[in-house]
Amino acid sequence: ASDLIIPAAAAKLGDRKLNDAAVELLLELCSAVGPSRVLQNVWSATQKTRSVMTLQGVVAFASKVVEDFSATALDLTGIVDFLRVSAD
């Protein structure tokens, strides 16, 4: 079920009105299914977006996940790959 919710929430990370709710939902999912899985799904859902606001929201969300769950709980190669693809 989380695989259906995450892309919809990820799309709202650039929305000024819904960003806070999307971040809160995604953080709760991180607690339930693990931060690496959530981040991987967020990256997959937003990989082709060109919206600067959405990309900023994704990076801010990833930063929050690192703060809350520590970098040791994450697949850092996934973070690097997402940033590399987004920069192209």
Question: Could you read off the pLDDT of 1-60 as tens digits, one per residue?
Answer: 788 999 999 999 999 999 999 999 999 999 999 998 999 899 899 988 889 999 999 999
Burial of 16 (0-12, 13-18, 19+ CB in 10 A): exposed
Residue 13, pLDDT score: 96
Between 76-87 and 52-69, two packed helices, what is the crossing angle to 10 degrees? 170
